[in-house]
Amino acid sequence: MAAAGFWQGRRVLVTGGTGFLGTWLVKALLGRGAAVTVFAWHRDPELVFFQERLNERTAFVPGDITDQALIERILNEKGIETVFHLAAQTIVGTANRGPLSTFETNVRGTWSLLEACRRLPGVGRIIVASTDKAYGEHRRLPYREDTPLQGAYPYDVSKSCADLIARSYFATYRLPVCVTRMGNLYGGGDLNGSRIVPGTIRSVLSGERPVIRSDGRYLRDYVYIEDAVLAYLRLAQFADRPGVAGEAFNFSAGKPVSVLALVRMILGLMGRRDLKPRVLGEASHEILRQHLDAGKARQRLGWKPTLSLAQGLRRTIAWYADDLARPGRP
């Protein structure tokens, strides 16, 4: 176990810190006493980050993740010791429609961040967010960390590239980089209605039938957001240890579920099994079956999920129900 108070006073940069995962991670770091700088492109006041006024409790710097000079300035002026690199274009459909902007953000943005860190040796820990999509499609499941990265579609390729680039900086320069490969994240605060969990919950709260873009057979891991945050914190704390430094780690519950089964579970938990999902069968350029083996994270980091899928979904449903009841919320 890492020493108590590890984060107290530690100077941390979170790129993409106004997003879904970033917001939860920033709150966790602040709660542990870290001095947090957030670097992000998105400044929509409707984001939970701004609704909860986290910009007033952090040093918030707006900017483009491909701006290496600005990143170097932030690292230097804030005396950053630890970096969580979350900034990315994360929507598969958006990547399919506009691959170049996705490559620019996810690939160039990653090397810009890493090169800035390489030029400023005070940074002692860098956690780069990859994804299970970086593996591409393989017949053998579940995916382990030694499964080749072979993304085929734009989003998957962008994350395969960023993942490989990150670990090349460790191999070549001994830059203190670790990589996370997460299953699908869910939890309160995800305002992207195109994702299956928030989209389904919001539909049910409105008394509408949930919509499934695919045929419902797509198989995925789902990781509750607070468990994901604990994974990031644990990996950063142990990042300088042999067997952890320079490594990639899968994080998952190890219990894959189909999209249709997930939607039915949500309907059951919300007592609305009468709302039969509308299955569109329109999804394309996505991997059909994908899930992860997180044994390495359990063995080397001592990490495992604290909540079952049902428990996590209950918390998530409660968050959206409360959010919908707030004055002025849509």
Q: Tell me: the pLDDT tens digits for 39-78?
A: 999 888 899 999 999 999 999 999 999 999 999 999 999 9
Helices (H) and strands (E) in the chain — how many of each?
A: 12, 13
Rounded to a whole number of angstroms, the CA Rg of the chain reads 19
Look over the chain and give the mean of its residue pLDDT values, rounded to a whole number.
94
The DSSP secondary-structure symbol of 177 reads E
Q: What is the pLDDT of residue 287?
A: 80
Q: Tell me: the pLDDT tens digits for 165-217?
A: 999 999 999 999 999 999 999 999 998 888 999 999 999 999 999 999 888 99
The CATH class of the 11-186+222-253+289-305 domain is alpha beta
Q: Residue 117 CA to chain centroid, in angstroms?
A: 21
Q: Beta strand pairing status for 257-258 and 219-220?
A: antiparallel
Partnered with residue 59 across adjacent β-strands are 37
Cis-peptide into 142, omega within 30 deg: yes
Please name the residue ranges forming H helices in the chain. Answer: 20-31, 48-51, 68-78, 92-97, 99-103, 109-119, 154-173, 196-205, 225-237, 259-269, 295-301, 309-325
Residue 171 is encoded by which pair of tokens? 């191999």
Rounded to an integer, what distance in angstroms lies between the CA atom of residue 224 and that of residue 106? 23
Rounded to an integer, what distance in angstroms lies between the CA atom of residue 149 and that of residue 51? 38
More confident residue, 109 or 121: 109
To the nearest whole percent, how much of the chain has pLDDT over 70? 97
Please identify every residue annotated as catalytic.
Answer: 155
> Residue 184 burial by CB count (10 A; 0-12/13-18/19+): exposed, middle or buried?
buried
Q: What are the residues whose beta carbons fall under 8 Å from the beta carbon of 318, sequence distance 6 or more?
A: 188
Q: Give the DSSP letter string of 217-266.
A: --EE-EEEHHHHHHHHHHHHHTTTSTTTTT-EEEE--S--EEHHHHHHHH
To the nearest whole percent, how much of the chain has pLDDT over 90? 85
Please name which of 36, 133, 45 lies closest in space to residue 78, comparing C-alpha atoms.
Answer: 36
Q: Where are the domains of the chain?
A: 11-186+222-253+289-305
- Per the confidence metrics, is the pTM higher than 0.85? yes
Q: Tell me: the pLDDT tens digits for 257-283?
A: 999 999 999 999 999 999 999 998 887
Contact 66, 105 (CB under 8 A): yes
Q: What is the pLDDT of residue 1?
A: 42
Rounded to an integer, what distance in angstroms lies between the CA atom of residue 79 and that of residue 90? 29
Q: What is the pLDDT of residue 4?
A: 64
